[in-house]
A = this chain, B = another copy of it.
Amino acid sequence: MAAGRPTNPLALAVLTLLVERPMHPYEMSSTLKERSKQESIKLNFGSLYSVIDSLAKRGLIEVHETTREGKRPERTVYTVTDAGRTTMVDWLSELLRTPAKEFPQFEAGLSLMPALGVDDVISLLQRRLEQLRREQEVGRRMLQQADEMGLPRLFVIEHEYELALQSAEIEFVARFLDELTSGTFPGIGIWRRMDELRTAGVPTDQIDTTIQEEFKEDFPWLNKQ
């Protein structure tokens, strides 16, 4: 009965399901898929069975019964314990109360971006923008359909959140692209010059000193480095 809780949100999803009623792992997986939770919580079999083991080891859930039909694999039905119920409430509360530090892939990409050339980046971001707009359209239509079918917004709020973030990204990329293509982005001069020196085969430390020399007036910070 190791202390603490698993870190994978899938374990929290398992707890909320077992608070509803006892289930076996495969049923949890189907239920989550049916309710489209797998779009908000990463779900795969390996992880599912392993977080269930982990919850059991910690005494947050326990085996309710094991059954088998014919020669099919055995089904292990689990229930939540009192400790599990408490953990569910605590954990879920924390998710809602405390903003977590996330590391989106695109942020990583942006932070390493200067390793590519300006013009390459422009065309990559244009493609991203198109893709994002297509996805946004799809997302919007799905929300609209859900609404028309009379599905309470309570059950799609997470998709509204996703759309909100997506729209913000679209605006960000569009504005950034605008500044890049119009040449008004402060720093594009440095970037182009770095490209030039790089493609000319100048070694990195020389690039640094050259850039420092050439741009020290525009960007005082370069001197302090």
A residues at B contact (CB < 8 Å): 9, 12-13, 16, 19-21, 37, 40-42, 88-89, 92-93, 95-100, 102-116, 120-121, 124-125, 127-128, 131-132, 135, 146, 149-155, 157-158, 160-162, 164-165, 167-169, 171-172, 176, 185-188, 190-191, 203-205, 218-222, 224
Contact = CB atoms under 8 A, between A and B. Distances in A.
Contact of A154 (B108, B114, B161, B220): B114
A96 B128 contact: yes
A19 B115 contact: yes
Nearest to A216: B150
B95 A116 contact: no
B95 A109 contact: yes
Contacts of A165: 104, 165, 168-169
B9 A152 contact: no
Given A150-B218, A152-B187, 10 more contacts: A97-B128, A97-B131, A98-B127, A100-B106, A106-B161, A107-B161, A111-B158, A152-B190, A153-B186, A165-B169
Contacts of A127: 97-98
Nearest to A168: B168
> A158, A169, A205 — which one has the most chain B CB atoms within 10 A of its CB?
A158
Contact of A111 (B40, B132, B151): B40
A217 to B, nearest CB: 9
